[in-house]
Structure formats: structure tokens, C-alpha cells
């Protein structure tokens, strides 16, 4: 079980779901890869796959109420199926898709959002012979994109439209997540062959590898920001869910493993680098488990309880939070009924008349620290941190 809770200022953290009038309804949810999280968000938009083949709805994050029947969509040429998609962290208007035909496509969303169908990609990155199952952006390097099939992965200079690095041909199962260390110089991948791998992205070489979890279901990996720790969430052979904490400098065995419960539900984990809080949702379940990650263990904090199961979850950037309400995280929860529910996590404080600075460590300013040419040239820089105190 999880370690004994310390006297953390986040131990009373709780979730507050939006009222029905503030939710988005009428979403005709489509399907993508079972290993993908079916909803994505940034500060401006929410994206979900639509019921039409190769279609994605991109909605304003401020949308409320039932959607009209004629929602404008991104529609891929020839209705090519989408297996995964992700927003560019440095350009809210760019969405990358991983497609069944092996290409990644970049779509530019107009400043005012989608007002009509968008069927023409701004760029198409074709370099895989098999269907693409994964696509995501580097968290610090501008226009660096990771794409993966079931057995190969590449890093692209998306602006130049070329693959620069190919990961070693060691994957015997689909990549289920990729996560980067604090300065973006090392990538950790989780894959369905049960291996956690540390990749030197410029050399295209495996720096270290370990069998992370024994279960047959896919697991997820998260790098714990400034902490030199990697977190994995997976399954045992008996379908018991577990969280393991790893030191990437000595990855032979986990520092700590926390047993959770017996459940087939795929994990939906989110780690807040600023606070050290892990939000662990699950596909098909309503509850979200809250933990605090230390250097040596994963400590249980609290549960957010809900009877409405999640199909997927997306976290918004920290700047979307209402700081004067002690809100430290904001999510969108997608349900099987086609509803998107805004969900806030707040730390109760008796006095909400002033800014509680102790709840808000300095945070990433959201700007890239290197461009693609610098990154592929071997340069890495950590994120620039700024205070969150309101003006």
C-alpha cells in the first residue's frame, strides 16, 4: 500500500466538478488507439475524436451546453483513421495527428477556432511504412515531434519536415507513453513489451532498460520533473495495479513499488512537476486517486470520488487555474455519454481573500528553451520558471 501521508499542505486537496450547465454535451465520441487518452486540451481548446472516420472536433475550452449537430471538424483526407493526436505545447493552434497510413499531419486551427470544416493539413510528415500509433511533442524543444509505430520511433524537425533521429530497433510492442527529463535531454519510453527504456535522443541509443511491470496490459511512464525519478503505473501478472518509482541513474530495480488494487482499468496518470502531486484517473472509473511523490516513495493523499466513469482525461496548463480559489489543477473529463466535465482541484483554505503563495511554487513559463536545430545539435536547457503570484 502507499506510504503514510506526511503533513503535506496538499493532503486535503479535493476535486470540484462543474455544474451540468457548465459542461459540454452532445459529443459524438469516435475511437482511436486503445492505448491513447481520448481527449486532449490546452489553455484555449479541447479536442476529441468524432464518430466520423478520421475526424476530430476541436472546441473552445470555454464551450458550455449541448453542441449543435453541425459541429465543424478536422477531417483527414480520404477519411484516414486517427490513432493519436496532441497539441503543440508552444503553439495552441497546431494539432498533430498520428494516422493509419503512417503519416503525421499538422493542422493549424484558426485564431477564432473552427468555424468550418478543416480538411487540409499545414504539413504532412511521411516517413513510416506502418500505421502510426503515437505522436507527441518535445516539452522544451520547439517543433521537435516524436512519432511511433508498433515497433519503431522517430524524432522530427517538424518545421523542416524531416526525421532527424530514429530510435533503436528494440521495440517489440507499441509505445504507450514517452516522457522527458527536466532539461529534455533524455527520453523514457513505456511500451507493451513491458520495458522501460531510457533513450539518448540525439544518439538514437538505449542508455538503460528494465522490465518494469509483469502484467500483459500496457503501462505508463512519467518523469518527475526536477526529481531524478521516473514513475511507472502498470499491472502485475494477477492484474493488480501498481506504481513503481525508479532512479534513472540506477534503474536495475525500483526504489519503491506501491500496490493499488485489482482492476482492468487502464491508468490515466498526470504528474504536477510544481507540487509533486500525482493525479491517477482510470478509463471506465470515476474516482481519481491523489498521491504525493517524494524521492523514496509514493504517498497517498486523498481520493476524488465520482459515480461518472471517465473515458479520458486532459489537464490544462497551470495558467488556467483560478489562483484566488486555491485551485492548483484543472482537468477536462470525458464520459461515455458524450459529455466533457470541467474538474477543478483545490486546497481548502479558511481565507480566500489573498493569494496563498505556499501552494504555488514557481512554474514553467510555457516557452521553449531550445529550437529544433539546437536540440539536434546537442543543446539542452531546463525550463525557465516564473512566479504565479497575480499582478
| 70 CB-near residues (< 8 Å, 6+ apart) | none
pLDDT band for position 1 (cuts 50, 70, 90):
very low
Calpha distance 34→271 (Å, rounded): 21
pLDDT band for position 7 (cuts 50, 70, 90):
low
Residue carrying the nine cell digits 468550418: 116
> Following DSSP, what letter does each residue of 148-167 receive, concatenated?
E-SS-EEEEETTTTEEEEE-
Residues 282-341: pLDDT tens digits? 999 999 999 999 999 999 999 999 999 999 999 999 999 999 999 999 999 999 999 999
Residues 15-36: pLDDT tens digits? 999 999 999 999 999 988 888 8
Q: Contact 140/183 with Cβ under 8 angstroms?
A: yes
* Stretch 85-103: mean pLDDT: 97
Instruction: Give yes or no for residue 231 having a pLDDT over 70.
Output: yes
CATH topology of domain 14-386: Methylamine Dehydrogenase; Chain H (2.130.10)
Three cell numbers written together for 4 = 503514510
| Residue 344: per-residue pLDDT | 97
pLDDT band for position 209 (cuts 50, 70, 90):
very high
Residue carrying the nine cell digits 509514493: 298
Q: What percent of the chain has pLDDT over 70?
A: 98
Instruction: Give yes or no for residue 257 having a pLDDT over 90.
Output: yes
Instruction: Give yes or no for residue 383 having a pLDDT over 50.
Output: yes
Q: Contact 267/354 with Cβ under 8 angstroms?
A: no
Residues 118-174: pLDDT tens digits? 999 999 999 999 999 999 999 999 999 999 999 999 999 999 999 999 999 999 999
Calpha distance 345→353 (Å, rounded): 18
* Stretch 74-96: mean pLDDT: 96
| Residue 262: per-residue pLDDT | 86
Instruction: Give yes or no for residue 3 having a pLDDT over 80.
Output: no
Residues 37-56: pLDDT tens digits? 999 999 999 999 999 999 99
* Stretch 339-368: mean pLDDT: 94
Q: Please give the sequence-ordered ranges of beta strands (E in DSSP) within 33-101, or none if there are none.
A: 40-41, 45-49, 55-60, 65-66, 73-75, 82-88, 91-99
Instruction: Give yes or no for residue 181 having a pLDDT over 60.
Output: yes
Q: How far is CA 355 from the centre of its chain?
A: 28
Tally the residues of the chain.
391
Calpha distance 320→247 (Å, rounded): 32
Sequence ranges of the domains in the chain: 14-386
> By C-alpha distance, which of 267, 333, 268, 312 is closest to 38?
312
Q: Contact 343/332 with Cβ under 8 angstroms?
A: yes
Q: What percent of the chain has pLDDT over 90?
A: 89
Calpha distance 102→123 (Å, rounded): 14
Amino acid at each position: 500500500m502507499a506510504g503514510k501521508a506526511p503533513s503535506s499542505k496538499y493532503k486535503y486537496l479535493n476535486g470540484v466538478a462543474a455544474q451540468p450547465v457548465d459542461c459540454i454535451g452532445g459529443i459524438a465520441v469516435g475511437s482511436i488507439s486503445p492505448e491513447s487518452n481520448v481527449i486532449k486540451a490546452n489553455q484555449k481548446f479541447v479536442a476529441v475524436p468524432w464518430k466520423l472516420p478520421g475526424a476530430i472536433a476541436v472546441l473552445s475550452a470555454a464551450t458550455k451546453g449541448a453542441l449543435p449537430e453541425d459541429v465543424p471538424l478536422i477531417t483527414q483526407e480520404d477519411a484516414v483513421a486517427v490513432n493519436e493526436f496532441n497539441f503543440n505545447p508552444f503553439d495552441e493552434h497546431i494539432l498533430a495527428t498520428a494516422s493509419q497510413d503512417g503519416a503525421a499531419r499538422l493542422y493549424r486551427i484558426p485564431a477564432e477556432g473552427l468555424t468550418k470544416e478543416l480538411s487540409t493539413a499545414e504539413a504532412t510528415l511521411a516517413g513510416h511504412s506502418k500505421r502510426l500509433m503515437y505522436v507527441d511533442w518535445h516539452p522544451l524543444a520547439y517543433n521537435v515531434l516524436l512519432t511511433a509505430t508498433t515497433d519503431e520511433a522517430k524524432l522530427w524537425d517538424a518545421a523542416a519536415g524531416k526525421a532527424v533521429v530514429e530510435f533503436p530497433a528494440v521495440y517489440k510492442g507499441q509505445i504507450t507513453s514517452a516522457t522527458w527529463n527536466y532539461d529534455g535531454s533524455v527520453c523514457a519510453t513505456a511500451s507493451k513489451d513491458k520495458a522501460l527504456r531510457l533513450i539518448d535522443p540525439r544518439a538514437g541509443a538505449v542508455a538503460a532498460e528494465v522490465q518494469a511491470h509483469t502484467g500483459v496490459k500496457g503501462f505508463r511512464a512519467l518523469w518527475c520533473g526536477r526529481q531524478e525519478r521516473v514513475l511507472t503505473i502498470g499491472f502485475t501478472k494477477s492484474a493488480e495495479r501498481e506504481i513503481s518509482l525508479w532512479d534513472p541513474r540506477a534503474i536495475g530495480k525500483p526504489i519503491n513499488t506501491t500496490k493499488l488494487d485489482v482492476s482492468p482499468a487502464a491508468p490515466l496518470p498526470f504528474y504536477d512537476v510544481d507540487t509533486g502531486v500525482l493525479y491517477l484517473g482510470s478509463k471506465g472509473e470515476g474516482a481519481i486517486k491523489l498521491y504525493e511523490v517524494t524521492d523514496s516513495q509514493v504517498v497517498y493523499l486523498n481520493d476524488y470520488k465520482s459515480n461518472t466513469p471517465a473515458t479520458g482525461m486532459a489537464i490544462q496548463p497551470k495558467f488556467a487555474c483560478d489562483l484566488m480559489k486555491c485551485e492548483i489543477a484543472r482537468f477536462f473529463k470525458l464520459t461515455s455519454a458524450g459529455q466533457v466535465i470541467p474538474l477543478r482541484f483545490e486546497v481548502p483554505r479558511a481565507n480566500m481573500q489573498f493569494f496563498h503563495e505556499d501552494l504555488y511554487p514557481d512554474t514553467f513559463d510555457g516557452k521553449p528553451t531550445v529550437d529544433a536545430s539546437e536540440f539536434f545539435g546537442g543543446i539542452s536547457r531546463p525550463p525557465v520558471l516564473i512566479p504565479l503570484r497575480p499582478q
